[in-house]
Structure 1
Amino acid sequence: MLAAREEAIIQAVNRLLAEKGFDAMTVDEVAADVGIAKASLYKHFQSKEELAAAAMVRVMQRAEEFLAAVDAQLVPLDKLKVVVRWMLETLLAGQMPTLPSQNSSLRAVLLANRDYIDALMRISDTLGRWIESAQADGSVNSRLPAVAVLYTLYARACDPVVEFLKAGGQHSDAEIVELVMCTCFEGLNSRG
């Protein structure tokens, strides 16, 4: 029962973070969404930051599962494209938590969370290998530091362009994914 309750809490946090972001989400909303008292919520998680960290650990677990399922026969660039497509689709489905990049208390909790850090390192290592291979075969610009490419790909998971295009109502989710994929992998250069 405890595990089921924590799972329900994490799902609620994930949804609320995706919808509202960290700053706007409240612990009261999480408790109400799960149907428990705020005091009961604090028996599972000590703070709003711990709630967000638990949601991020869950996303990292899903990302690792996805990476493990990527077709090993794909060329490195196509592996990277598959991952970015998954991130964009997850974001559009409201399943990607939106966290502030400059919140020091949240950052401290995330950096202290061994599960989060370990998963982040494993994911970064996998993507880093694919980036370096794509640079070696000439499909990704080798003048760019691999870490800059990695952070560019990670940024797609919280890309405000996706939200702006969705709010504009002129494009379907599939079209938004293709537009962002194009700007990410082909850039803004004219293709004369």
Structure 2
Amino acid sequence: MSTPTPKVSFKEQMHLAREDAILQAACRLLGEKAFDAMTMDDVAAAVGIAKASLYKHFCSKEELCSAAMVQILGRVHDYVATLPAEQPPLEKLRALVRWSLERLMANEMPLLPSRNSTLRAVLMANKEYLNGLLTVSDQIGEWITEAQAQGLINPTLPPLVVLYTLYARACDPVVSFLKESGQFTPEQIVELVLQTCFDGLRAR
């Protein structure tokens, strides 16, 4: 006989809902401002709660942003899982980069922390983050090596170089520059960055 799932109290549901709203706001602000410029006051204001209430969920900006980065990795993992197994590896890579660029355009993709950022040190000590990053990287790495074996990606490039190049598109400053120019629609920007990423700059 299965054990019934314990009911979550209304108070706990509200707590979880507010925590999710906090994480969503942190992700958006990390995309807009990056870690070093973002403050806990910014997050509290974005959620519409007092800063004291924010600290009931997360004791520091580092802890909050670390949790937000873990959540983003979870979303990447979930998206990867939706891609059909029969889809060619290069198309999977292109779809993932497209998804990342669309999140970046909507300020839903946190910018990667700089090497001297306190957040980077926190993330490197976060096992949940590192495990999630390893899982996603391994899957992307498999697609890269498959595409190289098929001659669709330059086989002379180390797979790690290709992996980091694709990761960089998720925080590509070119997207912001093109948005600020006002010359292109969001859809056009995504297509242009995809084209330069996968097809390069050389005339064909």
TM-score, scaled to structure 1:
0.95
Residue equivalent to 1:11: 24
The unaligned stretches of length 5 or more in structure 1 are: none
Match of 1:45 in 2: 58
Kindly indicate whether residue 119 of structure 2 is the aligned counterpart of residue 106 of structure 1: yes
Q: How big is the shift at 1:72?
A: 1.3
State the match for 2:6 in structure 1.
Answer: none
Q: 1:43 aligns to what SS in structure 2?
A: coil
**Are residue 167 (structure 1) and residue 169 (structure 2) matched?**
no
**Deviation (angstroms), 1:79:** 0.8
What are the residue-to-residue correspondences of 1:31-70 with 2, within 5 Å? 31-70=44-83
Q: 2: CA distance between counterparts of 1:8 and 1:121?
A: 27
Using the TM superposition, name which of 66-75 and 99-108 deviates more.
99-108
Percent identical across equivalent pairs?
60
> Which runs of structure 2 are paired with 1:74-153 in the superposition (5 Å)?
74-153=87-166
Tell me what 2:4 maps to.
none
- The aligned counterpart of 1:176 is 189
Residues 164-173 or 47-56, more deviating: 47-56
- For 2:129 and 2:83, locate their aligned partners in 1 and report how far apart those are by CA, in whole Å: 21
Task: Summarize deviations over 1:77-124 as a string: whole Å, max 9, x none.
Answer: 111101111111110111111243223421121112222111100000
Q: Which deviates more, 101-110 or 61-70?
A: 101-110
Shift of 1:37: 2.3
Shift of 1:141: 0.4
Q: Deviation of residue 20 (structure 1)?
A: 1.7
The code of the aligned residue for 1:138 comes to G
Structure of larger gyration radius: 2
Q: Deviations over 1:9-57 (max 9, x none)?
A: 1111111112222122111111122232222222211211111111111
Pick which of 110-119 and 169-178 moved more.
110-119
Q: Which has the higher helix share?
A: 1
Q: Please, what is the CA RMSD of the aligned residues?
A: 1.2
Of 61, 74, 85, which residue of structure 2 is paired with 1:72? 85
Q: 1:158 aligns with which of 160, 164, 171?
A: 171
Residue in structure 1 matching 2:34, options 21, 25, 36 = 21
User: Aligned equivalents of 1:189 and 1:36: distance in 2?
Assistant: 51
Tell me whether 3-12 or 140-149 shows the greater mean CA deviation.
Answer: 3-12
Please give the alpha-carbon distance, in whole angstroms, between the structure 2 residues aligned to 1:55 and 1:87: 16
Unmatched tracts of structure 2, length 5 or more:
1-13
Query: Which deviates more from structure 2 when the two are superposed, residues 169-178 or residues 39-48?
Result: 39-48
